[in-house]
């Protein structure tokens, strides 16, 4: 099974900061990597699919990059509504594993 | 606008069977795959399993012996059954749609159902 590892597990940042979250797969998954945002008490929301494609309606300050085993989610200028937990997820093969999550907190 | 509405029993005793159903509104049911994902309190997301539009299923190996995912296309519904539950199965359970084509991602989610297993 493919394992997904995110780093860091949490971070503190200020409004306006540039934030980068990393996700690493235990084997190559090409570009089959998705990113989700989850706020407390809510279902996850798709942000990025296929490593770098922005889901419709998602602000352009979110971007994704990477291929193979190493991927990055970047928030170019952190906004108050972006404080949440972010998960990566591989869609290369079953089981569809998620990373353990990265909690973005207010500094 | 696609909406997934899920329901089921929220409190179970050990050894009982968890049963949840998800109804799809506002979009096509056929042509998509449908999935269940869970999240134990304070932790991350775990994929449970899914069913394709043709009825083929795929399950997480860690749960495979206890899980059944099925659908009823006449009602635009799909369901999850997890047998012999223990306290370790306490979690928020989500239903989700997998995007069409390849690769796939979870593009629509239900609201989540908290299932607690306690004697």
DSSP string across A43-95:
--EEEEETTTEEPTT--TTEEEEEETTEEEEEESS--GGG-SEEEEEE-SSSS
Whether chain B has a CB inside 8 Å of the CB on A55: the answer is yes
Nearest CA in chain B to A35: B105
Q: Do B45 and A45 touch (CB under 8 A)?
A: no
Contacts of B35 in chain A (CB under 8 A): 96
Whether chain B has a CB inside 8 Å of the CB on A94: the answer is yes
pLDDT by position in tens, chain B (length 119)? 899 999 999 999 999 999 999 999 998 888 899 999 999 999 999 999 999 999 999 999 999 999 999 999 999 999 999 999 999 999 999 999 999 888 899 999 999 999 999 99
Among B94, B70, B52, residue whose Cα is nearest residue A43: B94
Among B33, B108, B21, B62, residue whose Cα is nearest residue A95: B62
Among B36, B105, B29, residue whose Cα is nearest residue A54: B105
Mutate to test the interface with A, among B41, B103, B109, B114 (most CBs of A within 10 A): B103
Among B70, B24, B28, B30, residue whose Cα is nearest residue B49: B70
Among B25, B34, B29, residue whose Cα is nearest residue B2: B25
Q: CB of B98 within 8 A of CB of A96?
A: no
Whether chain B has a CB inside 8 Å of the CB on A71: the answer is no
Q: CB of A94 within 8 A of CB of A3?
A: no
pLDDT digits (tens, 9 = 90+) for A45-86: 999 999 999 999 999 999 999 999 999 999 999 999 999 999
Q: CB of A20 within 8 A of CB of A72?
A: yes
Compute CA distances A27 → A1, A2, A43, A70, B52, whole Å.
9, 6, 28, 10, 25
Whether chain A has a CB inside 8 Å of the CB on B42: the answer is no
Q: What span, in angstroms and rounded, lies between the C-alpha atoms of A61 and B94? A: 28
| CB-nearest partner of B47 from A45, A96, A101 | A96
């Amino acid at each position: 099974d493919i394992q997904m590892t995110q780093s860091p597990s949490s971070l503190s940042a200020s409004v306006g900061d540039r934030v980068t979250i990393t996700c690493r797969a235990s084997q190559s998954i090409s570009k089959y990597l998705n990113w989700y945002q989850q706020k407390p008490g809510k279902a996850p929301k798709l942000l990025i699919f296929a490593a770098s494609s922005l889901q419709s309606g998602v602000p352009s300050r979110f971007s994704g990059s990477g291929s193979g085993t190493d991927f990055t989610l970047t928030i170019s200028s952190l906004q108050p509504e972006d404080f949440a937990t972010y998960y990566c997820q591989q869609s290369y093969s079953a089981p569809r594993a998620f990373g353990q999550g990265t909690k973005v907190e207010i500094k | 606008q696609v909406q997934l509405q899920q329901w089921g029993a929220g409190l179970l005793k050990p050894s009982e069977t968890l049963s949840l159903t998800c109804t799809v509104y506002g979009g096509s049911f056929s042509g998509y795959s449908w999935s269940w994902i869970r999240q134990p309190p304070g932790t991350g997301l775990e994929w449970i399993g899914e069913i394709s539009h043709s009825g083929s299923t795929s399950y997480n190996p860690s749960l495979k012996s206890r899980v059944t995912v099925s659908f009823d296309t006449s009602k635009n519904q799909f369901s999850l059954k997890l047998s012999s539950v223990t306290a370790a199965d306490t979690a928020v359970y989500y239903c989700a749609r997998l995007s069409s084509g390849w690769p796939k991602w979870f593009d629509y989610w239900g609201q989540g159902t908290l299932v607690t297993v306690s004697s």
